[in-house]
Structure 1
Amino acid sequence: MKRDWMSDARQIPDEVMTYLRQIAVCAVIEKNCHPDDVSNVLGVSRSSVYDWLRRFTIDGYDGLETQKAPGMPPLVTKEMDQWLKDTVVQKTPEDFGYETPLWTCDILAELLRAEFGIQVVAATVNDHLKKLNLSYQKPCYRAIERNPEEVKKFLEYKFPRIQRLAARLEADIAFEDEAGIDLRERSGGTWGVVGETPKVSVTGKRGHCNVLSSVTAEGNLRYRVTEETITAKTYITFLESLIADRVKPLFLIADRASFHTSKMVRRFVCSHRKQLRLYYLPSYSPDLNPDEHVWEEIKDKRLGRSTILNKPDLLKKLRSALRSLQENKDRIKSFFLLPETKYAAGV
């Protein structure tokens, strides 16, 4: 049975066709074969052989390689690519009248149509964004009430002063925060059949507790678990545990929660001034607090992925997770090496 490619050279793969052209030209040029004979043996037209000889005369054997068709010019040009990158990095959809700050490929496709008059699908936009070294990420949310000048003042003036004073008094610097831990909080994912959401059995019971913690750049973690609502009194109890049996003074940096700034707490700190000083982060700036990452570690990476049966089980596993993290000083030190917290790494 005769193969299709034997009667139609278009069926021959490009790489093989390149070799056939080179063999044909070699036969004519170097072995003095007649072009008609080469045409008959290879089953190609005489005009094809003479065309190959012409291409060889101009570019040598390299000119006999299969040339890919140029195809249609790209719909999204380099100018549009640069506009895409600048738009994603420097603006939000709200600047264009959308009621969301989050970019999607569908929104960008609409803007490309409005800006340049081209019709592209979201998948095309996605491909171009990846080539521009952009990726789809979970954003870091910042409160609109945040004052950039206050943050700048804290980073460039206030905190360096705290560091210098701590060095002079040989004090330790720690960052403090609190978090609620709920029995029904879940995180993480699992594998399953495509199109079928995996089912995981969990408790439907209610249960809640609170944790207060502090961390230092040296990798020290202190914490207190309580089932009570955190009040000024609860906070003072934690402060008392932090300064108990301390040799060095402690400079504690916290956010501006109401119980942190209460008169009761202020009076306590003033009465223990030789042991404790309390400073405050800029308003709406949790990203500046390395202690925030304790909760990411405990809630999201540990408890949120565990099977928890009831509140006693929650308390048991919470304390176990905290003890485990407390022993991992390198992990705690890493909380001070993030872009937003590395300013505190030298304390």
Structure 2
Amino acid sequence: MTVKITRDDLTARDLRAASGGAKDGRVARRLLAIAFVLEGVSRKTAAESCGMDRQTLRDWVHRYNAQGIAGLSNRCGGGAQPRLTSEQMAQLASWVEAGPDLARDGVVRWRRADLARRIEKVFSIDVHERTVGKYLDRLGFRRLSVRPEHPNTDTAAQEAFKKNFQSMVTDMLPTQAKDKPLEVWFQDEARVGQQGTLTRIWSQRGTRPRAPRDTGYKWSYIFGAACPARGTAAGLVLPYVGTEAMNLHLVEIAKTVAQGAHALLLIDGAGWHVAKALKVPDNISLLKLPPYAPELNPMENVWQYLRANKLAITVFNSYEDILDKCADAWNFFATEPERITSITQREWIKVS
């Protein structure tokens, strides 16, 4: 059945003009098709010339008769309503951050299926685990490798250390250093050897790729320190750890501190960091981090970065090979000021 164009407020010429100014190409084609009909072109020809069939043109004529040009735009349905409210999404985020309870949830880490069951139990809403994955992505969660945490870690002490950092620095600096520019440095050591590490690589889904891993028992140590503000670093590759090795590293750091400045070197509680035989240069002051707090030392992130990009999946042919590869890895990091700052900068170390 043919549908007539009953509106007479716009002529075919007006419709063509409106078509030329339409931002949506689909609306422009519909306006042209209706203009063709008003000019006496057959419905079939008008439809085909504008990329539609006769039935589709008939439907758009209905919309035009009822609403005018406004009726020729696509109507957005708005999509499906979210299954979880904003409050429920916040609750989901808190579950993920807190982690599962083995006695209650039966698992030691969340899977999407576990969270789907928890959502159904608590909210009485049945969602597929793929939907849970979309929720987690929307909330900013990603699957990441965990790092070990000592059972005696005191998060409150860590927060207090960061909060009171500036006042601690003011109180501990020697008198002769208080009028000098202050540089904040971080220091740590990493053992690298034939009992090496593996890392993530790209591979086909569902496979478990293989990678070489050494089985020997030779290793060396990278002593590393970095100043985020200056984007500079000082490192040594040594065959052992101890007070003597730490003294050598302190000398290297002291030479790298800017002339006329004083360095505040943040260290962990290793015995050789606090030994009585330690010889601290005049332009360095040591500040010990809270116990069991590797999260406060960004050098841990440096080691992770170097292992993942330079030192993992490696077979060392000899002890000299270990030394060479350690030196290459450290220079890869230490020669890029922007990389140093990016990895080691922390907001809480700013001092006035």
Q: Same fold (TM over 0.5)?
A: yes
Secondary structure at 1:94 match in 2 = coil
Kept after mapping to 2: 8 A contact 1:202/1:309: no
Question: How far has the Cα of 1:288 moved from its partner?
Answer: 1.8
- The 2-side partners of 1:302 and 1:283 are apart by 29
1:256 maps to which of 247, 250, 269: 269
Q: Which residue of 2 aligns with 1:302?
A: 310
Counterpart pick for 2:196 among 185, 191, 194 = 185
In structure 2, what is the Cα distance between the partners aligned to 1:240 and 1:32? Answer: 94
| SS, match of residue 272 in structure 2 | coil
Q: Hey, what does 1:311 align to over in structure 2? A: 319
Residue 107 of structure 2 is aligned to residue 94 of structure 1: no
Partner residue, 1:108: 115
1:207 to 215, 218, 229: 218
TM-score under structure 1 length normalisation = 0.68
Deviations 1:262-321 (A, max 9, x none): xxx13545xx58455322012222222232233123222211255643432122111122
Question: Retained in 2: the 8 A contact 1:175–1:291?
Answer: yes
Contact kept, 8 Å, 2:246 with 2:278, in 1: the verdict is no
TM-fit CA distance, 1:33 = 10
- Can you give the 5+ residue segments of structure 2 that lack an aligned partner in the other structure? 1-24, 47-52
Counterpart CA distance in 1 for 2:202 and 2:155 is 42
Q: How does 1:1-347 map to 2 (within 5 A)?
A: 27=37, 30=38, 55-60=63-68, 62-63=70-71, 74=81, 76-79=82-85, 82-89=87-94, 91-94=97-100, 97-98=104-105, 102-130=109-137, 132-138=138-144, 141=147, 143=150, 145-162=152-169, 165=173, 167-168=177-178, 170=180, 172-191=183-202, 197-201=208-212, 203-217=214-228, 218-228=230-240, 230-239=241-250, 242-243=253-254, 250-261=263-274, 265-266=275-276, 268=278, 274=282, 276-304=284-312, 308-337=316-345, 341-344=346-349
Contact 1:235/1:260 (<8 A) preserved: yes
Q: Cα RMSD between the aligned structures? A: 4.5
Deviation at 1:168, TM superposition (A): 1.2
Per the TM alignment, residue 31 of structure 1 is displaced from its structure 2 partner at its CA by 6.1
Question: Are the counterparts in 2 of residues 184 and 203 from structure 1 also a CA contact under 8 Å?
Answer: yes
Counterparts of 2:192 and 2:80 in 1: how far apart (Å)? 56
Deviations 1:107-130 (A, max 9, x none): 221112112323222112212333
2:136 maps to a residue whose letter is: L
Distance 2:295 2:189 in 1: 14
- When residues 195 and 334 of structure 1 are mapped into structure 2, their CA distance, relative to the original with a 3 A threshold, is closer
What is the Cα deviation at residue 162 of structure 1?
1.8
| 1:197-247 deviation per Cα after TM superposition (whole angstroms, max 9, x unaligned) | 54445544333222222222323322232323x234543454455557987
User: CA deviation digits over 1:164-209, x for unaligned, max 9?
Assistant: 7375153654321111113242444555566555444554433322
Residues of 1 paired with 2:60 and 2:184: CA distance? 79
The 2-side partners of 1:186 and 1:155 are apart by: 31
Deviation for aligned residue 1:254: 0.5
Q: Deviations over 1:83-126 (max 9, x none)?
A: 13432246524369236564332122111211232322211221
Residue identity opposite 2:276 in structure 1: R
Deviation digits for residues 45-96 of structure 1 (CA, Å, limit 9, x no counterpart): xxx96x876654432355467778x79965x5241x5413432246524369
Q: Which residue in the other structure is 1:3 paired with?
A: none
For structure 1, list consecutive stretches of 5 or more residues without a partner in the other structure.
1-14
* Counterpart secondary structure, 2:178: helix
Task: Please identify, of 294-303 and 272-281, the stretch whose mean Cα deviation from structure 2 is larger.
Answer: 272-281
Query: Residues 77 and 22 (structure 1 numbering): CA distance in 2 closer, same or farther, change over 3 Å?
Result: farther
Aligned residues: 311
Scaled by the length of structure 2, the TM-score of the pair is 0.67
